Amino acid sequence: MSKTVTAKAHTNIALVKYWGKRDATLMLPQTGSISLTLDHFYTQTQVRFNDQLPTDQITFNGTRLAAPQAQRISTFLDLIRQQSGQTAAAEVVTTNHVPTSAGLASSASGFAALAAAASRAAGMTLTPTELSRLARRGSGSATRSIFGGFVEWHAGHDDQSSYAEPLQDPVDWDIQMIAVVLKKSPKPISSTAGMARVVATSPYYPAWIETTKHDLTAMRAAISARDLEAVGTIAERSAMRMHALNLSAEPAFTYFTADTLTAINTVKDLRARGINCYYTLDAGPNVKIICAGRDTTVITTALKQAFAAEQLIVAKPGPGITVTEDASIE
């Protein structure tokens, strides 16, 4: 019987967005990206390889998944079996402390945790860079959830050159995100399908690639300078350009809801009053507000005019992945 390994990985929210693959098999992105790992949202995954099992057994949030639902995870486990020489099926138990498929980066933390736990359980000893490459094969943004703080994913040109590395960890200045959780149900079009449609049909996609290069350079400088205003301005711009691509696709689609626009307008109103806050969104309706911790009360008070208190979650910069052997999921 193989050892049991548990990994815990936190979500990350992209500040300079990744939106589009140029190699769907290797999960190579069209552009680089920069993110912030958050402390509040995370996935905990336990893996054990067991040669007595006929097939992989995947339990997700207390429910055993049927084979079709578990296929993406089993395919990723096949990659680990191929690289490690392990031949047994795996028992996987995952607890996701993130709303799934709602634009809060559940696949990033999920595949980062799975990559770390399964590779160690299969007998592999990977460096953080190697683990980042492996996690990328499950979900592109998972490559960034290996690390804490501010993280950059280098687009690269092949499997070896596409990986993430930390830009700043720990984060030693006052920056956080307030997540406005508008909808916990799965989104109408997956990130994978949405970005594929954009790359294939948007006439503006070449411009996205060029402007993202400039945003990456500017964001590195803003993080180094610990400049909240610059970080927020660049992040807001990148997010809106990404969502504009969705509206320019054929057929057009959007992740926005009426509540999304309400949250965005609340941020704009606060900024007009002199509060240093900015919004960003991933592939979902939920809004993340970039701000300083000292402004939490005034921002949440304004948001409570439209949203319930339980919809507002304050998240600080979070840590990188942790791995333990022979542990049980809490």
Contacts of 90 (CB under 8 A, 6+ apart): 47, 48, 49, 50, 53, 56, 57, 77, 118, 121
For residue 98 the two structure tokens come to: 């993130």
Tell me the longest C-alpha to C-alpha distance in the chain: 64
pLDDT of residue 99: 64
Q: Are residues 70 and 154 in the same domain?
A: yes
Do residues 259 and 115 both lie within one domain? no
Q: Which residues pair with 287 in a beta bridge?
A: 180
CATH number, domain containing residue 310: 3.30.70.890
Task: Indicate if 186 and 221 belong to the same structural domain.
Answer: yes
Q: Which domain holds residue 25?
A: 5-170
User: Based on the structure, what is the number of domains in the chain?
Assistant: 2
What is the reported pLDDT for 60?
95
Q: What secondary structure does DSSP assign to 176-222, as a single string?
A: EEEEE----SPPSS-HHHHHHHHHHH-TTHHHHHHHHHHHHHHHHHH
The pLDDT, as a whole number, for residue 329 is 47
User: Looking at the domain assignment, is residue 202 inside a domain?
Assistant: yes
Residues 234 and 253 in one domain: yes
Tens digits of pLDDT across the chain (330 residues): 579 999 999 999 999 999 999 999 999 999 999 999 999 999 999 999 999 999 999 999 999 999 999 999 999 999 999 999 999 999 999 999 876 555 566 899 999 999 999 999 999 999 999 999 999 999 999 999 999 999 999 999 999 999 999 999 999 999 999 999 997 667 789 889 999 999 999 999 999 999 999 999 999 999 999 999 999 999 999 999 999 999 999 999 999 999 999 999 999 999 999 999 999 999 999 999 999 999 999 999 999 999 999 999 999 999 999 999 985 444
Give how far the C-alpha of residue 324 lies from the chain's centroid of Cα atoms, to the nearest Å: 22
Same domain, 228 and 208: yes
Residue reference for tokens 């964001």: 219
CATH of the domain at 125: 3.30.230.10
| Token pair listed for 103 | 């634009």
Of 107, 138, 170, the one marking the end of a domain is: 170
- 82 with 195, same domain: the answer is no
Alpha-carbon span 253 to 248, nearest angstrom: 8
Query: What is the pTM assigned to this prediction?
Result: 0.95
* Domain identity same for 94 and 226: no
Q: What is the pLDDT of residue 105?
A: 62
Q: Are residues 114 and 17 in the same domain?
A: yes
3-state DSSP helix/strand/coil % of the chain, to nearest 5: 40, 25, 35
Residues 120, 199, single domain; the answer is no
